[in-house]
């Protein structure tokens, strides 16, 4: 029976479209999963979305959607992007899935009944308009970091998890499993910064917002995100608090590895194992914390039009080129850099010059010299052994790099085959052999060795660049080589390659591409600015009761004069049925007093009186204004009496 292997990504927040940094993690995990499948494991690969919390509730409100409708949209968008970059997941879990929600409620209750969760109070600085708690250090100049308004010291009832109870057991687990946290350098950070100073209890419920899984025995509270989010790794397999687990859970838990970013290592190596200890569930074998993909040396920010998204990149360069770039751009343990220019450079140097060129040259020469037939004529030379040694030693090297999550290094080992094969072409000079009829057999062997090298390298590369590798195999009219045969050089008996090979990775003209990219960024920035304006001008939704507070009536202008000392103001005397009032209005740049006389206008009649340039204004005239400052009054469409109410 195949050995089981369970691998997961973090679940992405559904606060918006994921950028290339988030997508990197899905691509990385996909390569690891595909390679394990290739090695012969029975792999279960889970990814998904983290959909609850106040931030998401707010985002939904900003676009006038219910939180569920909002996360439905983003989850679909994330699935589309994962598909676009070829993420071969077995399960996409959403924290709004009914099964997950039910289990989280049961987990919460179990831990409460066990005494690990208790009711306490969350203390901090509270911003009433934002309904948010902040710690002292989060405040900006003592004010709310979101809206800049004053905050009050406040307390909120909340449930807490007793983290400290399990600290010693966790330390013991670290010591017994030195590779639990990978890279191991991150372990010291956890021990020294969090465990040694003493673990703080973790807030696991909130009552100031609604968008979360309700605590079923205390309706005021929703489960606060990490207990909800982390448990996805077991609920996705069908873990059941009451012990009626699905077969998947029995087969695949504990996870072989959780692949996550460096910013959330603490949650995965402290809180997650402790939750599991409290539930009496075995701990995952490994947490791998990868570095971050950074743009222009800094963090990606969605508020700038230059943020890089996988779908744009795929549109410009294709799926496999994007996969190749992000995987090679990330050095082990450190952050990687991404820019449009460096992607173009990498595509040209590695994919077009090294791999694509090797494949197209080999196929072209096979067609030219042998009518497309690859067949060994057994005329070997010493240089062949060097090539074969590189090709047949690659698999073991790749496995060892992949086991250490050094994916960029694994790719380097595979490309060593292609580099060596290109050098082999230079060394053997097939075009020279072709000129000499007596060297025809040697030429056949050279092209045979090249084809063997390509199909072995391509089979190894298929976990990383699945589509391109399949295309290469098709062009060679060969199957990708299975793991049992990956080190066997010389398996092809005879094959006829395709006549007109497709160009796999065309060389890109950086200038042309960058012009297109800059145009796209410019347009994107314009769109963002326009959206920003809409958001800024947008007012919150109001109830009909709010609207009913405003009294609107038809007012007829019976007198009008300029306000002295003011360029903008006119003083209007208006008639509202039996009543006469004075209104000061900022319309003098658009209308003369004479133009105003006799007009029937819309007026707010219950505004508190205000003094403008010494004149008491007893209401407000409504008018529309366009971007150029042009005004238009709102006037009745037939001759209705002044004083009429507007509803
Ligand atoms: O953290 N480069 O979700 P998320 C590489 N919902 N990886 C990056 C990155 C970058 N520039 N930016 C983010 C969350 N990531 C939680 C996880 S798991 C139970 C809950 C990584 O959408 C980040 O480190 O903010 C994380 O692993 C993943 O993308 C999702 O981030």
Task: Find the mean pLDDT for residues 355-368.
Answer: 97
Pairwise CA distance, residues 445 & 459, whole Å:
21
Whether residue 536 has pLDDT greater than 60: no
Q: What does the block give as tokens for 186?
A: 């991150």
Q: What per-residue confidence (pLDDT) applies to 592?
A: 92
Residues near 416 by Cβ (< 8 Å), separated by ≥ 6?
390, 394
Produce one character per residue of 11-30: b if its CB has 16 or more CB atoms within 10 Å, e if not: bbbbbebbbbbbbbbbbbbb
Task: Give 538 or 73, the one with higher predicted confidence.
Answer: 73
Q: For 544-623, where are the alpha helices, taking DSSP H only?
A: 544-548, 593-596
Query: Ligand 1: distance of its center to the CA of 231 in Å?
Result: 16
Pick the most confident of 135-139, 234-238, 583-587: 234-238
Query: Ligand 1: distance of its center to the CA of 55 in Å?
Result: 15
Q: List the single range of 191-195, 247-251, 507-511 with lowest mean pLDDT.
A: 191-195
Contacts 24+ apart (CB under 8 A), 397-404: 398/35, 398/460, 399/39, 402/32, 402/35, 404/182, 404/332
Pairwise CA distance, residues 271 & 228, whole Å:
12
> 571 near 611, Cβ under 8 Å?
no
Half-sphere exposure of 418 (CA within 13 A, CB side): 25
Ligand 1, pocket-test mutation among 20, 25, 82, most atoms within 8 A of CB: 25
Q: What per-residue confidence (pLDDT) applies to 405?
A: 95
Q: What per-residue confidence (pLDDT) applies to 627?
A: 67
546 confidence band (pLDDT: 50, 70, 90)? confident
301 confidence band (pLDDT: 50, 70, 90)? low
Closest ligand 1 atom to 10 CA: 18
Whether residue 260 has pLDDT greater than 70: yes
Q: What per-residue confidence (pLDDT) applies to 611?
A: 83
Whether residue 612 has pLDDT greater than 70: yes
Task: Find the mean pLDDT for residues 274-280.
Answer: 98
Tell whether ligand 1 has an atom less than 6 A from the beta carbon of residue 22: yes
Whether residue 305 has pLDDT greater than 70: no
Tell whether ligand 1 has an atom less than 6 A from the beta carbon of residue 287: no
CA angle 76, 8, 182 (to 5 degrees): 140
Pairwise CA distance, residues 451 & 495, whole Å:
10
Whether residue 106 has pLDDT greater than 70: yes
Task: Find the mean pLDDT for residues 413-439.
Answer: 97
Model's pTM, two decimal places?
0.82
Query: Ligand 1: distance of its center to the CA of 47 in Å?
Result: 12
126 confidence band (pLDDT: 50, 70, 90)? confident
Whether residue 18 has pLDDT greater than 70: yes
Produce one character per residue of 51-62: b if its CB has 16 or more CB atoms within 10 Å, e if not: bbbbbbbbbbee
Q: List the single range of 312-316, 494-498, 531-535 with lowest mean pLDDT.
A: 531-535
Q: What per-residue confidence (pLDDT) applies to 303?
A: 55
Half-sphere exposure of 625 (CA within 13 A, CB side): 9
Pairwise CA distance, residues 248 & 239, whole Å:
9
Whether residue 266 has pLDDT greater than 90: yes
Tell whether ligand 1 has an atom less than 6 A from the beta carbon of residue 398: no
């Amino acid at each position: 029976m195949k050995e089981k292997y369970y691998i997961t990504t973090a679940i992405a927040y559904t606060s918006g479209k994921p950028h290339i940094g988030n997508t990197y993690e899905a691509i990385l995990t996909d390569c690891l999963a595909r390679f394990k499948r290739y090695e012969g494991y029975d792999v279960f690969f889970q990814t998904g979305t983290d959909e609850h919390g106040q931030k998401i509730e707010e985002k939904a409100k900003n676009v006038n959607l219910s939180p569920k409708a909002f996360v439905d949209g983003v989850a679909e968008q994330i699935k589309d992007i994962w598909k676009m970059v070829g993420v071969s997941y077995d399960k996409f879990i959403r924290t709004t899935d009914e099964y997950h929600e039910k289990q989280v409620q049961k987990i919460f209750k179990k831990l409460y009944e066990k005494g690990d969760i208790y009711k306490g109070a969350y203390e901090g600085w509270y911003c009433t308009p934002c309904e948010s708690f902040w710690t002292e250090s989060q405040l900006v100049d003592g004010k709310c970091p979101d809206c800049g308004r004053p905050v009050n010291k406040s307390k909120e009832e909340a449930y807490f998890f007793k983290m400290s109870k399990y600290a010693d057991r966790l330390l013991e687990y670290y010591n017994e499993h030195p590779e639990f946290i990978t890279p191991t350098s991150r372990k010291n950070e956890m021990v020294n910064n969090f465990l040694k100073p003493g673990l703080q209890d973790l807030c696991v419920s909130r009552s100031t917002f609604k968008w979360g899984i309700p605590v079923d025995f205390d309706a005021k509270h929703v489960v606060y995100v990490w207990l909800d989010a982390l448990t996805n790794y077991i609920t996705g397999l069908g873990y059941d608090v009451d012990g009626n687990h699905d077969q998947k859970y029995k087969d695949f838990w504990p996870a072989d590895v959780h692949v996550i970013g460096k910013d959330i290592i603490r949650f995965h190596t402290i809180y997650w194992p402790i939750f599991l200890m409290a539930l009496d569930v075995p701990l995952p074998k490994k947490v791998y914390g990868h570095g971050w993909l950074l743009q222009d040396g800094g963090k990606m920010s969605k508020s700038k039009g230059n943020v890089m998204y996988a779908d744009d990149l795929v549109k410009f360069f294709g799926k496999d080129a994007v996969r190749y770039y992000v995987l090679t751009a990330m050095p082990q343990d450190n952050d990687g850099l991404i820019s449009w220019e460096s992607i173009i450079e990498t595509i040209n140097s590695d994919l077009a010059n090294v791999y694509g060129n090797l494949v197209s040259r080999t196929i072209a020469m096979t067609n030219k010299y042998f009518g497309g037939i690859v067949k060994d004529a057994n005329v070997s030379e010493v240089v062949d052994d060097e090539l074969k040694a590189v090709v047949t030693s690659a698999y073991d090297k790749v496995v060892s790099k992949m086991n250490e999550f050094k994916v960029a290094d694994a790719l380097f080992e595979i490309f060593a085959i292609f580099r060596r094969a290109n050098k082999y072409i230079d060394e053997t000079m097939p075009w020279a052999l072709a000129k000499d009829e007596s060297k025809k057999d040697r030429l056949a062997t050279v092209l045979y060795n090249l084809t063997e090298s390509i199909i072995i390298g391509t089979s190894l590369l298929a976990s990383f660049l699945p589509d391109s590798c399949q295309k290469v195999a098709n062009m060679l009219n060969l199957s990708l080589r299975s793991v049992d045969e990956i080190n066997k050089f010389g398996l092809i008996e005879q094959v006829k390659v395709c006549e007109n090979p497709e160009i796999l990775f065309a060389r890109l003209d950086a200038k042309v591409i960058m012009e297109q990219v800059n145009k796209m960024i410019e347009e994107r920035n314009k769109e963002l600015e326009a959206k920003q304006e809409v958001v800024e001008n947008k007012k919150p939704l109001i109830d009909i009761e709010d609207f009913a507070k405003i009294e609107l009536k038809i007012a007829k202008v019976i007198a009008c004069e300029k306000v002295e000392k003011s360029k903008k103001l006119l003083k209007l005397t208006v008639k509202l049925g039996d009543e006469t009032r004075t209104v000061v209005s900022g319309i003098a740049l658009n209308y003369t007093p004479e133009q105003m006389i006799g007009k029937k206008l819309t007026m707010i009649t219950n505004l508190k009186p205000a003094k403008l340039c010494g004149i008491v204004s007893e209401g407000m005239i409504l008018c529309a204004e366009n971007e150029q400052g042009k005004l238009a009054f709102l006037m009745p469409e037939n001759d209705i009496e002044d004083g009429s109410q507007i509803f």
